Amino acid sequence: MTLNWKKFEFIDLFAGIGGIRIPFDELGGDCVLSSEWDKDCQDMYEANFSHRPVGDITQINPLEIPNHDLLCGGFPCQSFSIIGKGNGFQDTRGTLFFNIAQILEVKKPKAFLLENVKQLKSHDKGNTYLTIEKTLKNLGYNVHTKILNALDFGLPQKRERTIIVGFLDNVDFEFPKPNAKRADLKDFLDKKNDKDPTLQASDYIIKRRLERLKEDSKNDPFYPSMWHENKSGNISVLPYSVALRAGASHNYLLVNGTRRLSSRELLRFQGFSESYKLAVKSSAIRKQAGNSVPVPLIRAVAQQMIKALRAQDQG
User: Of 302, 304, 294, which Cα lies nearest the Cα of 153?
Assistant: 294
**Half-sphere exposure for 109 (CA within 13 Å, toward CB):** 28
Separation CA 74–CA 113 (nearest Å): 8
Catalytic residue among 31, 41, 72, 77: 77
Q: Which amino acid is at 242?
A: V
Separation CA 89–CA 80 (nearest Å): 11
Cis peptide before 224 (omega within 30 of 0): yes
Under a CB-based contact definition with an 8 Å cutoff, are residues 78 and 70 in contact? no
User: Exposed/middle/buried for 268, CB within 10 Å: 0-12, 13-18, 19+?
Assistant: buried
**Is 41 annotated in the active site?**
no
User: Exposed/middle/buried for 164, CB within 10 Å: 0-12, 13-18, 19+?
Assistant: buried
Q: Which residues are catalytic?
A: 77
